Structure 1
Amino acid sequence: MLTTERKALILSTLEAQGRIVAKDLSRQLDLSEDTIRRDLRELASEGLLQRVHGGALPASPALADLATRRKISADDKTAIAKAAAAMVRPGQIVFLDGGTTTVAVAKALPADLPATIVTHSPDIVVALLDHPSIAIELIGGRIYRHSNVAIGATAIEGIGVIRPDLYLMGVTGVHRDHGLTTGDREEAAVKRAIMKQAAETLVLASREKIGAVSAYHVAAFAEIDGIIVDKRCPAEEIEVLAARGLPITRA
């Protein structure tokens, strides 16, 4: 079997089964595990899958650039955003994460809502400029261009003096076995810092993130208070999460 044929088979198997076990696939194809692992490394370098111990899992499409991500699951993100915005109460301090879904949340907030929105995303600030009743606090730091958010020591120091009532968090991967993940180590650290300060953390996850894994762990499901997903998310994955006691809102 040619290399291109093997890689195509790996990707089709991953799509159908949601995972690749290198040992099983090597037996199936009568090839060495080293050959399969080499293929997995090369496919991972192209962003087509995420390697894990013993094999691979789907890579998140949410790792694409901002312009591309704005086009992915746009209707689903709007539905999630409306559900999340409805959970914000007058007088609350809410931390809005960076990302396309949280920008949609900012736009969905009522213009006359008296609340304080804290964010490390300039995009969120711009989305809130026509909300005169909302006080906006911007956390500074070094900008991580992929998500257009502030990261690093300065950002974490600023986060450490705020106690949000609610944190609406974005991630790039939500997987039943690997928890919540994202594609950058420092961004993951910032998310954990916000979680530590917030009274309640809700994760916003459109369907392309469900069952996907990224390189850096953010948190386990036991560390969050719930997840908001769209109605078209894979039912089997959602049922597994719900069975573990994770409160789920389907928008």
Structure 2
Amino acid sequence: MADSPRVVSRDTSERRREITTMIRSRGSVQVAALSEMFNVSMQTIRKDLHYLEERGVATRAYGGAISSEVVNAPIEPAIEVKRVSHTAAKERIGKLAASMVAPGESIMLDSGTTTLQIARFLPSDEDLTVVTNDFDILAVLTQKRNIRVVMLGGELRRRNMAFYGAQTVAALDDLLLDKVFLGVDGLDIERGVTTHHEPEAQLNRKMVETARQVIAVTDASKFGKICLHRIIGLAELDALVTDTEASAYIDEAAARLGFSLHKA
């Protein structure tokens, strides 16, 4: 016997509530995956997403939808705000990431308050080479006399106290590094690693080209956020270092996309 309209309506509303919860927790969803999960057609899922878009829950994107809360991530916070946000998690992440650096390696530290913690925890007595474009990281590393420091020039962006521009990118042309540690403004499973500042995205992509290993470092507050400028997809990462607040779907993404996951 066919389902009554009331039963169908209840099933639809329950499914849409579940999809809403997934969108808000993950930041994005895909039509094909939802179709398989709920055992309904992709056309049905598209109607669900259209319904949620009309109600401001999500914004449709190719193959799925993105949370309206993160599709236009808030403007970049000032460096003073970043320095006092999630400090305990950033310290743990920085300490764990620093332990991944072997004696004699050459590494790149991207600008950011989490990568700054890596610089703090690098051992002073080991032979390392550290390349950076971040003024605050430079200040920390000058106190570690056995570390060779290479500072990338360019134009100073005071909002995050780092250097950018064509000169900064060109300085990487002849460098071959063991590891690059990327700071993160936004990290989404479908949209990858993103940033607010276009010159930073350009520089980060160049950093990735120079390194044998690409390691993103971020606390869990950045998950699901999508900024305007894309750096790389998550499948291009070798590792992600984050904190224990990271949701289970990050573990699933690591297994599926092939990067190692480290939680501090």
Into which bin does the TM-score normalised by the smaller protein fall?
0.7 to 0.9
User: Is it true that 1:119 corresponds to 2:136 in the alignment?
Assistant: no
Write the distance in 2 (CA, Å) between the matches of 1:22 and 1:140.
Answer: 46
User: Is it true that 1:133 corresponds to 2:146 in the alignment?
Assistant: yes
User: Is it true that 1:237 corresponds to 2:250 in the alignment?
Assistant: yes
Q: How does 1:51-200 map to 2 (within 5 A)?
A: 53=61, 56-58=68-70, 63-200=76-213
- Is the 1:79–1:230 Cα contact (8 Å) retained in structure 2? yes
- Is the 1:174–1:212 Cα contact (8 Å) retained in structure 2? yes
Q: How does 1:193-208 map to 2 (within 5 A)?
A: 193-208=206-221
- Larger C-alpha radius of gyration, 1 or 2? 2
Q: 1:203 to 1:17 in 2, by over 3 A?
A: closer
1:87 aligned partner, one-letter code: M
Q: 1:26 to 1:96 in 2, by over 3 A?
A: closer
Task: Please report how far the alpha carbon of residue 61 of structure 1 lies from its aligned counterpart in structure 2 after TM superposition.
Answer: 6.7
Alignment RMSD: 2.6
- Is the 1:57–1:213 Cα contact (8 Å) retained in structure 2? no
Equivalent of 2:51 in 24, 29, 33: 24
State the TM-score, normalized to the length of structure 2.
0.75
User: Is it true that 1:212 corresponds to 2:239 in the alignment?
Assistant: no
1:201 aligned partner, one-letter code: V
- Is the 1:19–1:57 Cα contact (8 Å) retained in structure 2? no
1:197 aligned partner, one-letter code: T
- Higher mean alpha-carbon deviation, 14-23 vs 143-152, is at 14-23
Write the distance in 1 (CA, Å) between the matches of 2:97 and 2:138.
Answer: 17
- Higher mean alpha-carbon deviation, 158-167 vs 54-63, is at 54-63
Q: 1:26 to 1:242 in 2, by over 3 A?
A: closer
1:104 aligned partner, one-letter code: Q
Task: Please report how far the alpha carbon of residue 52 of structure 1 lies from its aligned counterpart in structure 2 after TM superposition.
Answer: 6.9
- Is the 1:60–1:172 Cα contact (8 Å) retained in structure 2? no
- Is the 1:95–1:117 Cα contact (8 Å) retained in structure 2? yes
2:153 aligned partner, one-letter code: G
User: Is it true that 1:247 corresponds to 2:237 in the alignment?
Assistant: no
Write the distance in 1 (CA, Å) between the matches of 2:219 and 2:181.
Answer: 13
Structure 1: gaps spanning 5 or more residues: 1-11, 30-35, 41-50
State the TM-score, normalized to the length of structure 1.
0.79
2:50 aligned partner, one-letter code: K
1:140 aligned partner, one-letter code: G
Q: What secondary structure is seen at the aligned counterpart in 1 of 2:177?
A: coil
2:109 aligned partner, one-letter code: L
Identity %: 26
